[in-house]
C-alpha cells in the first residue's frame, strides 16, 4: 500500500490529479479512474467502445444508497428514543439536494467537476449537478476503500464539521406538506402536474407545476420527480406569502 501511494503521488502520469484529490479528500485513492468518473457530469460523458456513456450516474446511484445508510446509522445512534418518522425526516434534511449541493461547494467539488459549460445557462440542469457529484464521490470511495473507511470519512470529515444537527432539527423543510395543509385549511384543491419540457431540455428532466383551485402557480424542475415537486411547492409557498 505504501509503495502504491508513493507511485500515485510522485511517479504516476496522473500525479497532479492525485495530489488534487489528496488535498480534497485527505487520502490517496487507489483506483484513480473511479474518481475521474465520479466527477464527470452526464453533459461531459465519454462514449465507450460498446456505446455506453461513461459518466457519474451509476456511481451517483450507489453513493446515494451508501450515504443514506451511513446517515441513518448515525441518526439511529444519536437519537435512541426518537421514532422512525423523526429519523426519516432528519435523514431527508441531511441528504436533500440543497444540503448536498452546499456540502459539495464547501468541499470544493466545483473546482474538479467536469461538465459542458453550456449547462451554466440552464438553471434546472446545473441546480443538482454538484449534489449528484457528491453522491458519486461517496460511491467511488465505497468501491475504492470499503464501507468502514467511507463511514468514518463521511462521519468525521463531512457530517461533524459541516452539518449542525441541532439547528437542522429545528429547520422546517417539508414545504410540500405545509402547502398541502394550507390548502386543506383553505378548502382548496391542489395537484402537482407533470408538464412538457421546453425545447432542448432532457426528457429525463421532470417539470412540475403546482395547480391550486385550477389556478397554475410555480414550476419546479429536477431530474428527480419528488425533488421537482418539492421545489415547486417551496416556490409556491413563498409566492403565496404563507406564514404558517
Residue 178's CB is within 10 A of a number of other CB atoms, namely 16
Q: Is 102 exposed, middle or buried (0-12, 13-18, 19+ CB in 10 A)?
A: middle
The C-alpha atoms of residue 63 and residue 57 are separated, in whole angstroms, by 10
The angle subtended at Cα 78 by Cα 73 and Cα 79, nearest 5°, is 100
Active-site annotation holder among 60, 135, 222, 234: 135
The C-alpha atoms of residue 74 and residue 76 are separated, in whole angstroms, by 5
Element (H, E) at 97: helix 97-107
CB 29 within 8 A of CB 143: no
Number of helices (H), then strands (E), belonging to the chain: the values are: 13, 5
CB 41 within 8 A of CB 132: yes
Active-site annotation holder among 64, 74, 144, 234: 64
Q: Which residue in 37, 73, 57 sits closest to 150, CA to CA? A: 73
- Among left, alpha and beta (phi > 0; psi -120 to 50; other), residue 187 is left
Is 135 a catalytic site residue? yes
Is 64 a catalytic site residue? yes
Active site positions, annotated: 64, 135
Amino acid at each position: 500500500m505504501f509503495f502504491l501511494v508513493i507511485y500515485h503521488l510522485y511517479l504516476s502520469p496522473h500525479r497532479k490529479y492525485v495530489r488534487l484529490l489528496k488535498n480534497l479528500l485527505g487520502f490517496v485513492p487507489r483506483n484513480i479512474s473511479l474518481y475521474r468518473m465520479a466527477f464527470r457530469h452526464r453533459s461531459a460523458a465519454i462514449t465507450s467502445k460498446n456505446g455506453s456513456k461513461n459518466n457519474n450516474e451509476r456511481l451517483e446511484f450507489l453513493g446515494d444508497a451508501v450515504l443514506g445508510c451511513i446517515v441513518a446509522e448515525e441518526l439511529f445512534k444519536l437519537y435512541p428514543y426518537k421514532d422512525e418518522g423523526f429519523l426519516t425526516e432528519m435523514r431527508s434534511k441531511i441528504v436533500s439536494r440543497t444540503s448536498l449541493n452546499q456540502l459539495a461547494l464547501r468541499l470544493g467539488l466545483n473546482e474538479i467537476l467536469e461538465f459542458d459549460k453550456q449547462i451554466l445557462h440552464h438553471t434546472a440542469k446545473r441546480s443538482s449537478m454538484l449534489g449528484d457529484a457528491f453522491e458519486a464521490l461517496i460511491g467511488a470511495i465505497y468501491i475504492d476503500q470499503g464501507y468502514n473507511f467511507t463511514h468514518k470519512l463521511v462521519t468525521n470529515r463531512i457530517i461533524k464539521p459541516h452539518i449542525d444537527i441541532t439547528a437542522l432539527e429545528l429547520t422546517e423543510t417539508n414545504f410540500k406538506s405545509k402547502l398541502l395543509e394550507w390548502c386543506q385549511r383553505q378548502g382548496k384543491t391542489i395537484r402537482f402536474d407533470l408538464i412538457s419540457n421546453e425545447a432542448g431540455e432532457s426528457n429525463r428532466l421532470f417539470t412540475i407545476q403546482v395547480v391550486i383551485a385550477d389556478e397554475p402557480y410555480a414550476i419546479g424542475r429536477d431530474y428527480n420527480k419528488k425533488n421537482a415537486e418539492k421545489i415547486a411547492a417551496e416556490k409556491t409557498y413563498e409566492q403565496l406569502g404563507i406564514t404558517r
